[in-house]
């Protein structure tokens, strides 16, 4: 079964007494799948079910990397939980720092890809070509890290990374912590930057969450307080949700399951802005 993360979300949170015993494998793609959701989906199927996660873009055509099937390459290919897998055959990758140098192992940076499956460029868009295709490499705009086994780990979209007090803050990291609250208070969450930093262009993290039945029973105010306290015990101070936590009915997403953070940010700014008197 090939599915997208929003369908995984529905399977895990919106179905009861579901029978997935006939499934032999699930592939999730098109958008980032939080590790907590992947684990909960795996528990719904039989023990021998193969759970695969992949990563790619339109520009990579067939894809870029995926969790390897058990036993492939005589067992040398490691299927590391929480990773997006290893490169597909014929592909090269490098992870670059902001200054253009290559990142160390386990250090986040922008993923660059090269291979015969990479698109040749964009039709009639020289500016985009110059920015995206550099010396035969595709700049993905996604932040990744790699371990010693050459497993790749998605960190966040480069454009979504926040700079707080000079430090990089990944919204995806905060989202994962919210979803991992031991009381299962939320079933969905997203984090984005809002104005409120020390300078006019600095954004601080704010969360939008969808409460679970347990969270709704606990109450909005109590759940928000518990989530905020949880974040403060799990993450460094500069990653705390200084922009607050808002309870919503659902997180807006594209048809392929990508979170539309801009919709939430625009809604917040419209509610909090003061346009002044009309003439």
Mind listing the pLDDT tens digit for each residue in 185-240?
999 999 999 988 777 778 899 999 999 999 999 999 999 999 999 999 999 999 99
- Across 245-274, average pLDDT: 87
* Euclidean distance between CA atoms 85 and 41, whole angstroms: 18
Mean of pLDDT values over 100-110: 92
Per-residue pLDDT band at 258 (split at 50, 70, 90): confident
Q: Residue 112 pLDDT > 60, yes or no?
A: yes
- Per-residue pLDDT of 10-60, as tens digits, reads 888 776 777 888 989 888 887 788 888 888 888 888 888 888 888 998 999
Which structure tokens are listed for 80? 């590391």
Could you give the percent of the chain with pLDDT greater than 90? 49
Q: Is the alpha carbon torsion for 231, 28, 132, 99 positive or negative? A: positive
CATH T-level assignment (fold) for domain 161-272: GMP Synthetase; Chain A, domain 3 (3.30.300)
Other beta carbons less than 10 A from residue 154's beta carbon: 21
Average of per-residue pLDDT across 121-148 = 94
Average pLDDT of the chain to the nearest whole number: 88
| CB-based contacts of 164, cutoff 8 Å, min separation 6 | 197, 202, 203, 204, 205, 238, 239
Structure tokens at 217: 């029973």
Contact (Cβ atoms closer than 8 angstroms) between residue 259 and residue 5: no
Helix (H) or strand (E) holding 13: helix 5-13
More confident residue, 77 or 97: 97
Residue with tokens 């929480």: 82
Residue 57 contacts residue 31 (beta carbons within 8 Å): no
Sign of CA dihedral 24, 33, 13, 258: negative
Q: In terms of C-beta distances under 8 Å and separation of at least 24 residues, what long-range contacts does 18-21 make, across chains too?
A: 18/44, 20/44, 20/45, 20/46, 20/49, 21/45, 21/46
d(CA 101, CA 104): 10
**How is the chain split into domains, by residue range?**
161-272
Confidence of residue 255 (pLDDT cuts 50, 70, 90): confident
pLDDT digits (tens, 9 = 90+) for 158-196: 888 888 888 889 898 899 899 989 999 999 999 999 988
Helix or strand holding residue 143 (H, E): strand 137-146
Assess whether pLDDT exceeds 50 at residue 279.
no
Q: What stretch of H or E contains 229? A: helix 220-234
């Amino acid at each position: 079964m090939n599915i997208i993360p929003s369908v995984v979300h529905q399977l895990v949170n919106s179905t009861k007494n579901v029978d997935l015993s006939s499934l032999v494998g699930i592939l999730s793609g098109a958008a980032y799948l939080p590790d907590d959701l992947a684990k909960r989906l795996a528990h719904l199927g039989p023990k021998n079910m193969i759970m695969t996660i992949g990563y790619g873009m339109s520009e990579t055509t067939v894809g870029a990397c995926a969790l390897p099937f058990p036993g492939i390459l005589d067992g040398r290919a490691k299927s590391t939980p929480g990773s997006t897998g290893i490169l597909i055959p014929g592909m090269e990758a490098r992870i670059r720092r902001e200054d253009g140098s290559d990142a160390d192992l386990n250090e986040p940076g922008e993923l660059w890809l090269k291979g015969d499956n990479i698109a040749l460029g964009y039709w009639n868009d020289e500016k985009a070509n110059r920015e995206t295709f550099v010396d035969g490499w595709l700049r993905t705009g996604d932040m990744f890290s790699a371990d010693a086994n050459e497993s790749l780990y998605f960190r966040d979209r480069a454009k979504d990374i926040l700079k707080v007090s000079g430090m990089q803050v990944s919204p995806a990291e905060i989202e994962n912590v919210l979803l991992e609250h031991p009381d299962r208070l939320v079933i969905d969450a997203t984090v984005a930057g809002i104005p409120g930093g020390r300078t006019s262009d600095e954004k601080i993290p704010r969360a939008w969450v969808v409460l679970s039945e347990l969270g709704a029973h606990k109450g909005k105010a109590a759940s928000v307080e518990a989530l905020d306290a949880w974040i403060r015990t799990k993450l460094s101070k500069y990653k705390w949700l200084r922009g607050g936590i808002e309870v919503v009915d659902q997180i807006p997403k594209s048809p392929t399951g990508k979170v539309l953070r801009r919709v939430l940010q625009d809604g917040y700014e419209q509610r909090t802005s003061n346009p002044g008197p009309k003439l």
